[in-house]
Chains A and B, each alone.
Chain A
Amino acid sequence: MAKKIVSTGRGGAGKSTFVALMSRYLKPPSLLIDLDPDLSLADMLGIDFQTEGKRTIVEALYDAVKERQRGGSPLTPVEDRFKGFVWGDCLYEGKGFDLLTLGTKDLEGCYCYPDHLLRKTISELSKNYTNVVIDSPAGLEHLNRNIVSQVDDLFVVLDPSDKSLIHIKKIKAILKEVGMMYDQFYILANYMFDEESERYLKEAGEVFLGKIEYDPKVEEYNLKGEPLNKLPEDSPAYRSVRKILEKAGLV
């Protein structure tokens, strides 16, 4: 059974950057899942789903529903067709890791149904991997949906504001109420921290694993949409992420 790792935090804190940098060090085979409708993990990893001919979860769901409306595969439940599409069309297989992305929906309504289907698929898929890493959308709603009910390592990436400390409390309250279990609750400082604000985190009473170092190259790559895996391994960002993962026992 795969180790389930979740990266979460307030918007813009650097959740996806952390996952993209982490992917270099994870023991293969690992599965990365981008749960953010405003997706960017694939971009950060230099993967173009369109040229790869891959579909998002939301697109697969449309495909399954449309096929049914046309009268195709009438005997297979939509959910099973969807699962077939996920395995066949959505799973990008790369070196060291595979990738699934949720995708953007342009129909009215929430992401409950795609998320619900994904929850079932994740538990089946995870049997084939050493690690399953989930990159969360900003905010808290994905926690309410309880997409993975048993998390091994939960990383919360924080920005230097009082809101981050409130965010930690809210996360914990929701996890408790929805019954999501976790083994480890880790907090990380993002690149915007200085020493004074870091002290703030150390007083938060959580396991603080360190800071993702400020790296002008990351800023430049993100601005231009260049993949982060082109960064040299001795860059400050990579080195700091490696250190964090060592502390968490993942490397």
Chain B
Amino acid sequence: MYFGRRRNWSIPYVLFLVFFVLVPLALIVLFAFTSEAGGFSFENFRKFLMHPEAMNILIYSIGVALITTILCLLIGYPAAYILSRMETSRARLLVMLFILPMWINFLIRTLATVALFDFLRLPLGEGALLFGMVYNFLPFMIYPIYNILLKTDQNLIEAAQDLGANPRQVFFRTILPLSFPGITSGIMMVFMPVISTFAIAELLTINNIKLFGTTLQENIYNGMWNYGAALSLLMLLLIGIISLFNNQGSAKAAEEGGLI
């Protein structure tokens, strides 16, 4: 009889969320505000502010994320646009090909990229890092934009033509503004994970360049749980603020089919 009630079906999910999302989050907050010795303190945050190195890494990471996002957008938008104009069956195949690399483990893919760079005698470093980032996150930009372009009402394009817009004007005055929701979801889906990734940076720069994710990982790895938790919390806040900002900008857009 408990089974009959529809609301009871949500119990497993609620339990999952409590144990694997809420509790860990609470623990992060708890650790972040606890000193090594135990007891409430702001020590971890003070440490972050006192060490310009950590701050610089954060700024550098944001820079890498920005550049990656811009590159993904510049490459991804035209790709999505071309795909959306294609005949559906062919477009579906090509979208599939874009997404196919995602089926391979992300570490193996990155190791393969390292091997490729070695084979071509290209230096590992900043360039390789950006290449790896774009390579890994491009599908996340293409897919939401492709989706929204596909859903664009053909009538609106005809209406623009009808009102005197030449092909360039049709694009800049209707298609582009109508695809903003797709662009914002694409940006969110690229920008946020890039800030926190560390494996790509580690492998493609032979650990020469540290991203914020790397710093985080090192601290946790070396048992500095409290400091690590504080850094995680900072990053969480940063991402939270960005997505909040994004949601406000496109509250209407989001309901029209953005992914986030």
Are A and B interaction partners?
no
Interface residues of B (CB under 8 A from A): none
